[in-house]
């Protein structure tokens, strides 16, 4: 019986989605962050998800997941966080304290509308994983009552 | 006559196990709903049940040579297949979250049905033992 695996899978999904929500929060908070150079300007951050294969976790396991391609998988992990290479907003604001010698200020390349959509998507996905975990829990509770009158 | 659980419980034990495995695969699909390049998978329940049926009924191929492989060993798992996507997203992900969620729910209900059957088998055994 591998009902316990479902908890791990749904848990990894929740971790990944909450990290995605974290990057979204950081992006929205820094949407109006100004900087005097392109190097220091805030760029939108996006997590990259990848599937975990069971064969990666225990390579000597026989049966259900022997080869890397055949296993049922064991959830999701965050492979890394990449910065968006969209163009920065360059504004001419000579009175800004962070303006460079030409009078330009570099604002972040965060697209707030995109971030809001991302936020909704990740909160829905989080909810979905919670539902899965709840169902797995009730399945497990039921198996504990096996043989009882 | 010896009482063996294998004979008393019949197919339901295998069905319950198959349901748990399918739940695991579907949960994994849902966890990877936003993973680029992830391909949704599912278990062929019919093939799994057929295998279990063969192992329960005891109709297996005889092995007369050490090189013969037992293709229907009990506990061997059904084939993991890839799902045909209706509308794959542009990043190569083929998980349809709503569909997977409904499948997961339905699988949980089927699990409950299998469990009910298994549970009544046990209560039947208890009744027989008590002689009520």
pLDDT digits (tens, 9 = 90+) for A67-115: 445 566 788 888 899 998 888 888 888 888 888 888 888 888 889 999 9
Nearest-CA neighbor of A139 among A1, A12, A15?
Answer: A1
Instruction: Indicate whether B39 belongs to any domain.
Output: yes
**Inter-chain touch A10–B27, beta carbons under 8 Å:** yes
Instruction: Indicate whether B80 belongs to any domain.
Output: no
Question: Chain B closest CA to A36's CA: distance in Å?
Answer: 35
Kindly report, residue by residue over B50-79, the tens digit of the pLDDT: 877 777 666 666 778 877 766 654 444 567
pLDDT for B66 equals 77
Instruction: Indicate whether B73 belongs to any domain.
Output: no
Q: Looking at the predicted structure, is the pLDDT value of residue A41 above 90?
A: no
Domain containing B124 equals: 17-45+93-132
Here the tokens at position A65 are 């997941």
**Inter-chain touch A76–B32, beta carbons under 8 Å:** yes
How far is residue A67's CA from residue B17's CA, in Å, rounded to a whole number? Answer: 22
**Inter-chain touch A149–B123, beta carbons under 8 Å:** yes
Instruction: Indicate whether B130 belongs to any domain.
Output: yes
Q: How many domains does chain B have?
A: 1
pLDDT for B74 equals 45
Is the pTM value of this prediction over 0.90? no
Instruction: Indicate whether B74 belongs to any domain.
Output: no
Instruction: Indicate whether B56 belongs to any domain.
Output: no
pLDDT for B106 equals 93
Q: Helices in B1-132 by DSSP H: which ranges? A: 5-9, 12-31, 45-57, 97-130
Q: Helices in chain A by DSSP H: which ranges? A: 3-29, 54-57, 112-144
**Inter-chain touch B21–A2, beta carbons under 8 Å:** yes
Q: Using alpha carbons only, give the angle A80, A81, A84 rounded to the nearest 5 degrees.
A: 140
Name the residue with tokens 């019919």.
B46
**Inter-chain touch A13–B118, beta carbons under 8 Å:** no
Instruction: Indicate whether B106 belongs to any domain.
Output: yes
Instruction: Indicate whether B53 belongs to any domain.
Output: no
In chain A, residues 100-129 whose CB comes closer than 8 Å to chain B: 121-122, 124-125, 128-129
Cα nearest neighbour of A130 on chain B: B31
Nearest-CA neighbor of A132 among A36, A6, A5?
Answer: A6
Mean pLDDT across A7-20: 92
Mutating which of B5, B18, B21, B27 best tests the A interface, going by the most A Cβ atoms within 10 A?
A: B27
Here the tokens at position A54 are 């069971």
């Amino acid at each position: 019986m591998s009902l316990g695996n479902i908890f791990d899978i749904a848990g990894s999904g929740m971790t990944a989605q909450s990290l995605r929500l974290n990057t979204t929060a950081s992006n929205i908070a820094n949407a109006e962050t100004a900087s005097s150079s392109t190097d220091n300007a805030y760029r939108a951050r996006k997590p990259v998800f990848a599937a975990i294969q069971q064969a990666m976790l225990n390579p000597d396991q026989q049966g259900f997941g022997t080869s890397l391609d055949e296993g049922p998988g064991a959830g999701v992990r965050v492979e890394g966080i990449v910065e968006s290479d969209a163009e920065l907003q360059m504004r001419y604001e000579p009175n800004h304290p962070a303006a460079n010698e030409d009078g330009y200020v570099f604002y972040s390349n965060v697209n707030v509308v995109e971030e809001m959509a991302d936020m909704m998507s990740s909160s829905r996905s989080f909810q979905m994983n919670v539902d899965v975990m709840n169902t797995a829990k009730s399945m497990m509770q039921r198996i504990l009552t096996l043989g009882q009158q | 006559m010896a009482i063996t659980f294998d004979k008393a419980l019949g197919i339901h034990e295998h069905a319950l196990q198959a349901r748990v495995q399918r739940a695991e695969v579907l949960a994994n699909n849902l966890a990877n709903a936003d993973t680029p390049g992830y391909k949704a998978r599912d278990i062929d329940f019919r093939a799994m049940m057929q295998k279990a049926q063969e192992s329960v009924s005891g109709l297996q191929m005889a092995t007369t040579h050490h090189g013969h492989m037992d293709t229907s060993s009990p506990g061997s798992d059904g084939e993991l297949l890839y799902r045909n996507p209706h509308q794959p997203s542009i990043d190569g992900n083929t998980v349809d979250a709503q569909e997977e969620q409904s499948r997961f729910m339905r699988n949980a209900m089927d699990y409950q049905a299998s469990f009910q059957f298994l549970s009544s088998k046990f209560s039947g055994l208890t009744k027989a033992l008590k002689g009520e």
